[in-house]
């Protein structure tokens, strides 16, 4: 497994795994988006439905324990897509179920995804305020 002769290979191998698995998840997303588009949904709804579908798929794979197995190889390939966000929510929800529905599932579910929402939302609010004051200057 670990060949000392090629010290560069772990990074290259990690990146290849991340590229192909992450790319495949995005490819699946593009397929879903096209399908929902053909089904008559407008672009934004098709994109939202794609996210919801990928989240649900990730939740099923996480509950079966398969997503974690893939993640141990794919690294960022399974972390960076929205399926990784869903995995970060579902995984602690299952893990902390033994601590109860409120203090376990409810409190621990967003232990990893929570910071993402907090800082993503803060960034969006800052941008919203900036945009509000910038807009008149942009001739909008």
Contact mark string toward another protein, 64..103, x via CB under 8 A: xx---------xxx-xxxxxxxx-xxx--xxxxxx--x--
Exactly one of 5, 6, 9, 24 binds another protein (CB under 8 A); that residue is: 24
50 binds another protein, rule: CB under 8 A: yes
Angle (CA) 40 48 90, round 5°: 140
Contact mark string toward another protein, 97..126, x via CB under 8 A: xx--x--xx---x--xx-xxx-xxx-xxx-
Widest CA span in the chain = 61
Phi then psi dihedrals of residue 75, to 5 deg: 55, -120
User: Using CA atoms, how far apart are residues 21 and 134, in angstroms rounded to an integer?
Assistant: 40
Q: Under rule CB under 8 A, how many of the chain's residues touch another protein? A: 78
Exactly one of 30, 39, 66, 73 binds another protein (CB under 8 A); that residue is: 30
Helix (H, G, I), strand (E, B) or coil at 123: helix
């Amino acid at each position: 497994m670990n060949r000392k002769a090629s010290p560069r290979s772990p990074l290259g191998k990690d990146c290849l795994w991340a590229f192909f698995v992450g790319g495949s998840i995005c490819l699946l997303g593009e397929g879903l988006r096209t399908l929902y588009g053909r089904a008559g949904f407008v672009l934004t709804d098709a994109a939202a439905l794609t996210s919801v579908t990928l989240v649900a798929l990730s939740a099923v794979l996480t509950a079966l324990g398969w997503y974690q197995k893939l993640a141990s190889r794919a690294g960022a390939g399974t972390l960076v897509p929205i399926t990784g966000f869903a995995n970060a929510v579902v995984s602690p929800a299952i893990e902390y179920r033994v601590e109860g529905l409120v203090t376990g599932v409810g409190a621990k579910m967003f232990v990893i995804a929570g910071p993402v929402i907090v800082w993503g939302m803060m960034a969006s609010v800052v941008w919203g305020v900036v945009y509000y004051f910038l807009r008149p200057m942009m001739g909008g």
